[in-house]
Chains A and B, each alone.
Chain A
Amino acid sequence: MDKNDIQKLTQLARITLSDEEQEGLRGDMETILKYVSEIQNVSSGEGASSVEVLENVTREDTDAHESGLHTEVLLNEVPQREKNYVKVKKIL
């Protein structure tokens, strides 16, 4: 793992890190990845992955609550708001 890999990951993860932090992380990640790579040696045979045996559970989106019932409570926790909107910087 080199410096570019770490930089790319910080972009994907949307986390700004100083050069020093990136360097520290590079060392930690190499150690951890080396450790977890032991699973490459486990013969996995024909067994199914645990994800494949799981089922998605969904429900119909019915019985909607009264509009605006939770608006104030939720918007109170938003860092920046304008009236009943969450405020963000211009995207386009």
Chain B
Amino acid sequence: MINIKNLTISKTHTHLTDGDFSAMELAQTYLKNIGEQDKDVHAYLEVFDDVEHQAKEADAKIKKGDATLLTGIPVAMKDNILIKGKRVSAGSKILENYNATYDATVTQKLKEEGVVFLGRTNCDEFAMGSSTENSAYGVTKNPHDLSRVPGGSSGGSAASVSYDGALVSLGSDTGGSIRQPASFCGVVGLKPTYGTVSRHGLIAMASSLDQIGPFGNSVSDVEIVFDCIKGKDVMDGTSFDLKKKKMQKKPLTLGVPRHFFEEGVDSDVLKAFTVATEKLKDAGYNIKDIELPRVQHSLAVYYIIMPAEASTNLARFDGVKYGLHIDGDDLLGDYHNTRGKGFGAEVRRRIMLGTYVLSAGYFDAYYGKANKVRAQIAQDFNEAFQSVDAIITPTTPSPAFKIGEKSDPLSMYLSDIFTVPANLTGMPGLSVPTGTVDKEGSSLPVGFQILGPHMSEDTLFTIGKDLENVY
């Protein structure tokens, strides 16, 4: 049996091309592990029935000498990214029996490399949530403590990589939905610069904020997947080709917006952050305190813009074109019934909130104003990046919380406080595991977030790798 613990993409590639094991054996090993562990964790909504067929094709590619780094690599896909012919539900009843009619651009790119898609992973309904508790198909558990959430919304994608149920996975990040679960599950997660990865084939939540990004056990695995999926795509007008920024010579200067986490942050998380910062200092980085005068308004801005955009994006689910249909007295009744029964509580809440902030009487006070403050927050970050190369924060204010612990919506929203700014400004953010903290007898991972100017992914990877080296 192959030991899948501690595998990386490049190690796996070497094993595959050296003939130490085949893509088929590798896929079977992952399937066996999923079979043993996923009944407890429930990271997967579906394990695909053609995994062995995909692995066979990968082996043929390897045999022909056409293998790339990603050929034969087992990948898990969040349930809101389309793979043609496969079911995709965005964790919602309204799309329960829906089959994707085309490949997302990221899917297409990964298929060209010959990856093996193991299955689709659980997420909060329409990616709305921070715990996967909003999925219509049950909660995913945190592999580090089954009584706790894996984070969300891409909780299944993070959990699958965390328990070696996939080598890498894809998720989407609208307000922290990659970085927060990466932090909770002890894996690496990247929210790329807005526009670097095409969203064609991602079920849209809030289009000015959504980005697709990878999860992995290491920064270099995340980097390899990012390099594959990035690039301009005619099918997504916001996409562009990433220009390589000239890398600075080390040491880099890192900014700490200490005023941002004076309140509401778990003391153990803060301690872990301080330790990590010290380690980076020892590794040659300059650490500098910075001010981001309006960053504390990020979450309020986010909870206006995101529901506004979500309420318009989700208008297409009406029981006519796809998914669920519940009959009413007339066509309008069909819409009302389908949407009333098909959407879960959090989705309905956000649609109503979005409808409210966009309605004529409140538009200026909420949506209009939020967009002004959003621009100001972006300006604050731009100014900060004049004097620092990256900004560092804890990824989340606390480690993974208990299932059912955050029952009121606002307290759940607050777990995104440090991740939301990157979506508002479009900058990239990387979460890297920095040890664990002990909570009620459980050892829980803590993530460290690195934010950089637009298109500074290479800088984030460099810092992330330096951090990995001291843990």
Contacts and interface: CB of A to CB of B under 8 A. Distances in A.
Interface residues on A, range: 35 or more
B348 A15 contact: yes
Q: Looking at chain B's contact residues, is the secondary structure mostly helix, strand, loop, or mixed?
A: helix
B228 interface: no
A77 B330 contact: no
Contact of B355 (A9, A40, A52, A79): A9
B371 A50 contact: yes
A49 to B, nearest CB: 4
B101 A15 contact: no
Nearest to B304: A36
B402 interface: no
Interface string B305-347: 0000001000100111111110000111011110111010100
Q: Looking at chain A's contact residues, is the secondary structure mostly helix, strand, loop, or mixed?
A: loop
A36 B409 CA distance: 13
B308 to A, nearest CB: 11
Given A15-B343, A29-B356, A39-B297, A79 B319 contact: yes
Given A50-B375, A77-B101, A9 B410 contact: no
Contact of B371 (A9, A49, A74, A88): A49
Contacts of A10: 352
Interface in B202-239: 208, 234, 237-238
Nearest to A87: B320
B238 A88 contact: no
Contacts of B355: 9, 12-13
A6 B463 CA distance: 48
B305 to A, nearest CB: 9
A6 to B, nearest CB: 8
Given A17-B348, A39-B370, A89 B99 contact: no
Interface string A6-38: 100110111111000100110011011101111
Given A39-B297, A44-B376, A32 B353 contact: yes
Interface of A: 6, 9-10, 12-17, 21, 24-25, 28-29, 31-33, 35-40, 42, 44-45, 47-54, 57-59, 70, 73-74, 76-80, 86, 88-91
30 contacts: A9-B359, A12-B355, A13-B355, A14-B315, A14-B339, A15-B336, A15-B343, A21-B348, A24-B345, A25-B349, A25-B352, A29-B352, A32-B409, A33-B356, A38-B297, A39-B300, A39-B304, A40-B365, A40-B369, A45-B376, A47-B376, A49-B368, A49-B374, A50-B372, A53-B375, A74-B101, A76-B101, A79-B322, A88-B320, A89-B334
